[in-house]
A and B are shown apart, each in its own frame.
Chain A
Amino acid sequence: MPWPKETKFLGKETPRVEGPAKVSGRAKYTGDVAPAGVLYGAIFRSKWPAARVKSVNLAKARIAPGIKAAILARDGEFDVRYYGDEIAALAGTSKQAVLDALALIEVSAEPRAFVVKEVDALKTDAPTVVAGRANLTEGAAKETGDVEAAFAASAAVVETRVSTPIQVHHPMETHGHTVQWDGEELSAWSSTQGVFACRDSFAKSLNVAQNRVRVRCEHMGGGFGSKFTPGAEGVLCARLARAAGAPVKLMLTRFEEGLAVGNRPSSFQKLKLGADADGKLTAFEIYSFGTPGHTAGANTGGGSGGASFPAPYLYKPAATRVKQGSVAVNAGQSCAFRAPGHPVASVGMEAVLDDLAVKLGMDPVEIRVKNDPFDVRRREYAIGAEQFGWKQKYRKPGTMAGAVKTGVGCAGAAWMSGGKGTQAEIQVNADGTVEVRVGTQDLGTGSRTVVQVVAAEMLGLGLDRLTVRIGDSRLPPSGSSGGSQTTAAVSPAVFDACENVVAELKKLSGIEDPRGENWQAACAKIGNLPLQVRGKWREGLSTGGAGGVQFAEVEVDTETGFVKVKKLLVVQDCGLVVNKLTCESQINGGVIMGLGYALYEQRVMDARTGFVLNPTLENYKLPGAADMPEIEILLIDMPERGVIGVGEPCTVPTAAAIANAVANAIGVRVPDLPLTPDRVLAALGQVPKGTADTVRRPGAWVDGRASVAAAPVAPWVERNGGGQAYR
């Protein structure tokens, strides 16, 4: 790796460039931008979970006081498929004017039968979510090896069922845009994870040339995978601005955020795992389904349409059978969410693996080290177990006396990351100051600071000599911030641009090494016009393929069902660390999001009304300060691998590790996430029959599944009405 070994900034702790602006309220987010005459925009949404909309009358709304534009989301007759589907939009001079006018919109519609729970949607008599298409989409079972023979020859076989909820992104800043037209030119301030992707999507949706669209995102309040495109709200905002002949700001409310802008698909997983007497995995089988929302299976040509996930996760038994399905329900569509698929996969795989270890009488760390194919992760288990005090803390499941029981668990992660294609531009002024320009965006990950750190290191300059410009589609192109690719894409481009700057300056000034103390003298030769040099991403400076393992220690009150996470230990490799400070924050964030997934977060649908029951933050439970365990992070420094993104692997194994720790504490597995007190008590047999959550109660969904005569799930549905026997 050509990265320097002795560094001044790289791998050290550099506070965020924009930190002072963010802690003093000066940082302008999308909703803070207010072009002169800006109007307030809002969307009129379906109150029906399913309906045929015959006509929409905007006449009264259009002439209401203060209203400047009223548009239809779709023309003619159309179907709405979930509570919150877009129907129309208004723009007016104040929020109050728009709220009043929204009540004047008249819709003629035929409500239709709907279904919002996954298990209900599988039933043969369930309403179809998309007319003419079965709710369930299943890919063919994928098999390697002789699965039946491998299970038969196994020394131990276990079966485990788990389910995971719909998790909603809920970034603190809701989705939204401020859009201004100047003739045929569109300027958008967007809360987006990709200014270029957003630009191109605006251009396509509005039939405008790409060179006439500009998207800016100076600061944004989180996205977590849900802000790659302008979304319906962005296009409606732009159309409102065009119709009104004035700039329009359209920020969604928290309520809308809970309905309409994405989520992590749910899963219902039935897993079976076998091993030989030494604990070496021999055979694996999974059947799973989940919902990605109202359109399942549309984008994968008979695959699982958005609710699938990697299986078998991490481990590689020789014989495997994988069948995954996806079921449509009348609810908002899912989209990418921090490490898509991986936390879901991890929860199932790590559960069945722990259950197998218990049956074999093996230590959970030992069975992982024995079977994990990734050398780095195997070593991380060894390092983590020592630091965590695993040998001292681990005891046989459920063997602790007393009402409050402690337990420990662990799990691993894999993430491909990587990143390429970014360009950077550096302008050097005669006074020695430098401006670095990259068309990336900062979601809160610290990418602006990454640009600054790399440039300061490579040019040998103090941070105060550098300004960084990002978040604008007029800057050198960079990809969307997703897949933990930003740091790995941006750093090499800035590195390359710095090398080119040094070469140019050397030529121009005759100074052999213009960096550091020679910088000022070299820049003095630049002349009247600044020096502007480009660079682009190149091989050999960054890579992908992060591992990472986590250990959890929990305390479970068996009388109340309450789970308290005491400690989480993270052992994470991320190649060359660019900024220790922001890297730690990213990992904290991933772990805390994983903790929410394990214990608190779930979208709750009402089967009778089809409404989302918890679209607000007082009902959708995010982890708070009081829920924080001790979080300890061991960052594995591997500079020889180059820069690797860390934002996603760190959130993958947390929930699985916590769920395993709970099972270890109480001696039974709580199969359904989040591990709420009622479910913990139900798993302990402390809840009278019939009073627990019936839809996700252990076993209930399988009974439902088995009753679907039309679905080709043989040969491995249960016999004898939901029993455990595989054939």
Chain B
Amino acid sequence: MAGGVSRRIFLKSLGTSAVTAAALGADTVSQGLAQANAERAQGPGAVAVAFTVNGEKRTLMVEPRVTLLEALRGNLGLTGAKEACDRATCGACTVLLNDTPVYACSMLAIEAQGAAITTIEGLARDGKLTALQQAMVEQDGLQCGFCSPGMVMVLTALLRKNPHPTEAEVRRAIAGNLCRCGSYPRIVAATLAASGQKPVTQLNVISLHDHALA
């Protein structure tokens, strides 16, 4: 399993997942299928998983059915990534897997074998927030904050690839993240601010006394 290509990853790569397609390196679908079918099944008992988390090598024993999110939160105590939908819909669990955002709730820990994982805890260096994190605070790109770790991860990945995104590109980047408090306008504003663009606020405070009834 050293190559880190499981049947599940292979099947996922048949869809639109760029990361797994890149990691796969298989020339054709039939080659990939043959490779995946040749794998030995793992579990059901705990198996060893090794990956890098925020630059640190970590090895843990987990049942193959344990998700990457459960391993990060439960085994490694990294509770920044949140479980909110557990169905790859809301994005609160987003982490970077080799620099690409993934839903940690819908990936098994063993699928991340050998990968470099960055969690929300790995962004700030020596307690200093990144420009995006700072902008999220200053522009109030959060309310309850439960979606924030996922939003920050996905937007961090966006800004690394595209340092000056348009508003439409920011919206597209967070299309896989939900915020029930409705912070989207401020999250977009924060991202634009972090990329050196002027954020928009649509709030004006006016005095009633200046407006007589027509």
Tell me the A residues contacting B by CB distance below 8 Å.
Answer: 11, 15-16, 18-20, 22-29, 31-32, 34, 94-96, 170-174, 219-222, 224, 251, 253-254, 369, 376, 378-379, 382-383, 386, 443-446, 573, 577, 580-593, 616-618, 622-626, 628, 630-638
Task: Return 9 A-B CB contacts under 8 Å, by A number.
Answer: A19-B140, A24-B80, A24-B129, A382-B211, A444-B181, A588-B183, A616-B87, A617-B178, A622-B178
Q: Is the CB of B145 within 8 A of A18?
A: yes
Taking CB atoms, residues of chain B closer than 8 Å to A587 are 203
Q: Is the CB of A22 within 8 A of B202?
A: no
Interface residues of B in 122-154 (CB under 8 A from A): 123-124, 129, 133, 136-138, 140-149, 152
CB B176 to nearest CB in A, in angstroms, measures: 9
CB B41 to nearest CB in A, in angstroms, measures: 17
Q: Is the CB of A592 within 8 A of B178?
A: no
Bound: A28/B121 CA distance, A:
12
Taking CB atoms, residues of chain A closer than 8 Å to B14 are none
Taking CB atoms, residues of chain A closer than 8 Å to B86 are 253-254
Q: Is the CB of B119 within 8 A of A220?
A: no
Q: Which 6 A-B pairs have the closest CB atoms?
A: A25-B80, A444-B144, A221-B146, A592-B182, A22-B145, A589-B182
Interface residues of B in 161-208 (CB under 8 A from A): 170-172, 174-175, 177-188, 201-208
Q: Is the CB of B174 within 8 A of A23?
A: no
- CB closest chain-B residue, reference A379: B213
Surface stretch bound by A, among B5-13, B21-29, B30-38, B62-70: B62-70
Bound: A623/B181 CA distance, A:
10
- CB closest chain-A residue, reference B92: A172
Q: Is the CB of B205 within 8 A of A222?
A: no
Does B77 touch A at the CB level, under 8 Å? yes
Taking CB atoms, residues of chain A closer than 8 Å to B146 are 29, 171-173, 221-222, 444
Does B98 touch A at the CB level, under 8 Å? no
Taking CB atoms, residues of chain A closer than 8 Å to B184 are 588, 592, 624-625, 628
Q: Is the CB of A172 within 8 A of B133?
A: no
Taking CB atoms, residues of chain A closer than 8 Å to B120 are 23-25
Bound: A224/B181 CA distance, A:
9
Does B52 touch A at the CB level, under 8 Å? no
Taking CB atoms, residues of chain A closer than 8 Å to B144 are 171-173, 219-222, 443-444
Q: Is the CB of B65 within 8 A of A96?
A: yes
Taking CB atoms, residues of chain A closer than 8 Å to B20 are none
Bound: A445/B80 CA distance, A:
20
- CB closest chain-A residue, reference B172: A626
- If A172-B84, A174-B84 touch, whether A23 touches B182 (CB-CB below 8 Å) is no
Taking CB atoms, residues of chain A closer than 8 Å to B2 are none
Bound: A577/B206 CA distance, A:
11
- CB closest chain-B residue, reference A97: B63
Does B112 touch A at the CB level, under 8 Å? no
Bound: A11/B86 CA distance, A:
39
- CB closest chain-A residue, reference B70: A95
Taking CB atoms, residues of chain A closer than 8 Å to B214 are 382, 386
Question: Which of B119, B145, B147, B202 meets A27, CB within 8 Å?
Answer: B145
Q: Is the CB of B87 within 8 A of A24?
A: no
Tell me the B residues contacting A by CB distance below 8 Å.
Answer: 63, 65-66, 70, 73-74, 77-90, 92, 119-121, 123-124, 129, 133, 136-138, 140-149, 152, 170-172, 174-175, 177-188, 201-208, 211-214
CB A247 to nearest CB in B, in angstroms, measures: 14
Taking CB atoms, residues of chain A closer than 8 Å to B121 are 24-26
Q: Is the CB of B205 within 8 A of A625?
A: no
Q: Is the CB of A637 within 8 A of B208?
A: yes
Q: Is the CB of A624 within 8 A of B178?
A: yes
Q: Is the CB of B79 within 8 A of A254?
A: no
Question: Which of A18, A173, A625 meets B188, CB within 8 Å?
Answer: A625
Taking CB atoms, residues of chain B closer than 8 Å to A617 are 84-85, 87, 89-90, 178
Taking CB atoms, residues of chain B closer than 8 Å to A22 are 142, 145, 148
CB B150 to nearest CB in A, in angstroms, measures: 9
Q: Is the CB of B186 within 8 A of A588?
A: yes
CB B142 to nearest CB in A, in angstroms, measures: 6
Bound: A264/B65 CA distance, A:
36
Taking CB atoms, residues of chain B closer than 8 Å to A251 are 83
- CB closest chain-A residue, reference B80: A25
Taking CB atoms, residues of chain A closer than 8 Å to B186 are 584-585, 588
Taking CB atoms, residues of chain B closer than 8 Å to A445 are 143
Q: Is the CB of A444 within 8 A of B145?
A: yes
Bound: A254/B93 CA distance, A:
14
Bound: A221/B145 CA distance, A:
6
CB A31 to nearest CB in B, in angstroms, measures: 7
Q: Is the CB of B180 within 8 A of A172?
A: yes
Taking CB atoms, residues of chain A closer than 8 Å to B172 are 626
Q: Is the CB of B142 within 8 A of A633?
A: no
Choose among B81, B187, B204 the residue with the greatest number of A CB atoms under 10 Å from its CB: B204
Question: Which of A23, A94, A221, A583 meets B82, CB within 8 Å?
Answer: A221
- If A20-B133, A25-B119 touch, whether A633 touches B204 (CB-CB below 8 Å) is yes
Q: Is the CB of A96 within 8 A of B63?
A: yes
- CB closest chain-A residue, reference B187: A625
CB A343 to nearest CB in B, in angstroms, measures: 14
- CB closest chain-A residue, reference B200: A630
Bound: A616/B84 CA distance, A:
10
Bound: A135/B159 CA distance, A:
56
Taking CB atoms, residues of chain A closer than 8 Å to B203 are 580, 583-584, 587, 633, 635
Bound: A630/B203 CA distance, A:
12
- CB closest chain-B residue, reference A584: B203
Q: Is the CB of A585 within 8 A of B140?
A: yes
Question: Which of A171, A573, A632 meets B202, CB within 8 Å?
Answer: A632
Question: Which of A25, A219, A628 meets B149, CB within 8 Å?
Answer: A25
CB A93 to nearest CB in B, in angstroms, measures: 11
Q: Is the CB of A383 within 8 A of B90?
A: no
Q: Is the CB of B142 within 8 A of A23?
A: yes
Question: Which of B80, B83, B174, B185 meets A588, CB within 8 Å?
Answer: B185
